[in-house]
Amino acid sequence: MKLALFDLDHTLLPIDSADTWSHFLVRAAGLDAEEYGARIRHFAATYKNGNFDIEGYLAFQMNLLARFPRPQLESWRDNFVRVHVAPHVRPEAIQLIARHRADGFVLALVTGTHAFVSRAIADLFGIEHLLAVVPEEAQGRFTGRYVGTHTYQEGKVRAVQAFLAARGTTLARCEDSIFYSDSINDLPLLEAVRHPVVTNGDTRLRAIAAQRGWPMLDLFDLHHSDGQAMQEQRVGS
């Protein structure tokens, strides 16, 4: 198996889909925008600063889903994806994915945006496999909990390992494996694949990439020479 893995926010998309969804849901549901907005911004800041409370964040996200009937959530989600996500799907990202598909790679989106939202976004990109936090359901409603592993830091590695184990293989046995990500928080999975690609990288991750000689791709600014070289030398390889 040849495996191509993609982070979502600030990697394939130039936005943070999880935070954008959270703010959208708060507005759509008529919740207290000041109270909820402060919590969303707090989680975003701690994610960037390295002191992120993943379980607290997921409890917040799952409880938001649990407040509303699923049909209403689906209607809101469909509108969210159409208005707030689809316009940000760039041809550069579509071309990157298409080149790996044409070269016979199995494609998977590995994201911290929970599966209720990210499944619809994966479909926009034509990516079949999704590795994301799965909200728990019972009797047609979300329970406020999640099932399986989270997909933050080492959680992404566990999710990929479980995905491959279900197919009777491992990362070590893959003919090739590549992961595109922008975030220092994805360093564990970048280190686990054969070909890590720092994509629209944050400052700390770019520094590590420079030290280790990892390729860097500026997917949404192809005027950068390193981005151009990345496309010529590695995309679809």
Catalytic machinery residues: 7, 9
Contact 224, 234 (CB under 8 A): no
Contact 209, 201 (CB under 8 A): yes
Joined together, the tokens standing for residue 160 give 């990929």
Residue 4 has phi, psi (to 5 degrees) of -115, 120
* Strands of 216-217's sheet in order across: 129-131, 106-110, 2-6, 176-181, 195-199, 216-217
Query: In DSSP terms, which residues pair with 197 in a beta bridge?
Result: 180
Contact 17, 117 (CB under 8 A): yes
In this structure, the number of other CB atoms found within 10 A of the CB of residue 136 comes to 15
Nearest Cα neighbor of 60 from 28, 97, 23 is 23
Residue 28 has phi, psi (to 5 degrees) of -60, -35
